[in-house]
Structure 1
Amino acid sequence: MTTSDDYAAYIAGLPRVLAGAATLFRDERGRVLLVEPNYREGWALPGGTIESGDGETPRQGARRETAEEIGLDLTPGRLLAVDWVRGVARPPIVAYVYDGGVLAREQFDAIRIQEAELLSWRLVDRADLAGYLPDRLGRRVGAALAVLDSGAGAAELEDGEPVTG
């Protein structure tokens, strides 16, 4: 075996991690833009899987997924949260949440959902998010909103809970 074969075997034997990225958009009243997937229960932020095998970065993935899902091609703002999400019957997921900022009425009017994956979208008051978002995702979005409120650096999370050092 050559050195490149040894390296390939080494890489193939390493643990796997999935990665996803989403963007947190708000309106002038502070409501959060959520999308309703057609492939699972509950709502989500616009976003999805990072195509890391193609060299895509988390930020690029958030932008691409937002453009694909809701038709808005916008550069994500700062990183708000990173969440290590343990899985059952799947590898862990590293989930990145970026600030999408406050959108203008015209931008909301321009939203076109990707019907292959989404049923609808809506703006949800912060107080009502728990009724739309699954537990870990709800905590992740709450942590991202807390970062926006406080001006602090990005939140480090595990299963939606803040990591204390």
Structure 2
Amino acid sequence: MTTSDYATYIAGLPRVLAAAATLFRDERGRVLLVEPNYREDWALPGGTVESGDGESPRQAARRETAEEIGLDRAPGRLLAVDWARGEARPPIVAYVYDGGVLAREELDAIRIQEDELLSWRLVDRADLAGHLSDRLGRRIAAALDALDSGTGTAELEDGVRVPA
């Protein structure tokens, strides 16, 4: 296969997006959510993996968290991976990492990226559904379950756990 043939082959492959987010909690177990200015539902701090730069999902979670809320810390273990089908976009593989428990001083130091976010808040697990899309709500619930159980990473499709 020539270089030109290979380039044509690669250009014809399907495209899949990747995103990464970090799940932070406070000492009471509430989840830190951010309010984007470009959609109705809330989200975890995170965003698109910049694969053109060779960025990994873990690196993207750290970068996006630093950009969006001013916390620059390495993410913990991978809690969930979700294959999310899109209607107006290609499918996306979403990674959710453990951000750990934030101390009061860290919460007080949060500074939101005003270009993309309106605010942030801590939300009890029982109240998450009122802030999130159904799919993201299922993804976060699976990540919290993986965290609580100490078991492996939750594998999801559209926020639904894949049977083993």
TM-score normalised by length of structure 1: 0.98
Moved over 4 A (4+): none
* 1:126 CA displacement: 0.6
For residue 141 of structure 2, what is the aligned residue in structure 1?
142
Query: What root-mean-square deviation, in Å, do the aligned CA atoms of Structure 1 and Structure 2 show?
Result: 0.8
* 1:3 CA displacement: 1.1
1:24-64 deviation per Cα after TM superposition (whole angstroms, max 9, x unaligned): 00000000000000000010000000001110000000000
- Aligned-partner Cα distance in 1 for 2:149–2:130: 24
- Does residue 41 (structure 1) correspond to residue 40 (structure 2)? The answer is yes
For residue 123 of structure 1, what is the aligned residue in structure 2?
122
Correspondences of 1:32-71 after superposition (within 5 Å):
32-71=31-70
1:78-126 deviation per Cα after TM superposition (whole angstroms, max 9, x unaligned): 0000000001021000000000000111110110000000000000001
- Aligned-partner Cα distance in 1 for 2:24–2:6: 42
* 1:143 CA displacement: 0.1
| Secondary structure of 1:62's aligned partner | helix
- Aligned-partner Cα distance in 2 for 1:164–1:125: 27
Aligned residues: 164
What code does the residue aligned with 2:2 have? T
Gaps of 5+ in 1: none
- Aligned-partner Cα distance in 2 for 1:134–1:56: 27
For residue 97 of structure 2, what is the aligned residue in structure 1?
98
- Aligned-partner Cα distance in 2 for 1:89–1:134: 16
| Secondary structure of 1:65's aligned partner | helix
For residue 76 of structure 1, what is the aligned residue in structure 2?
75
What code does the residue aligned with 1:85 have? A
Gaps of 5+ in 2: none
* 1:12 CA displacement: 0.2
| Secondary structure of 1:98's aligned partner | strand
- Aligned-partner Cα distance in 2 for 1:126–1:30: 8
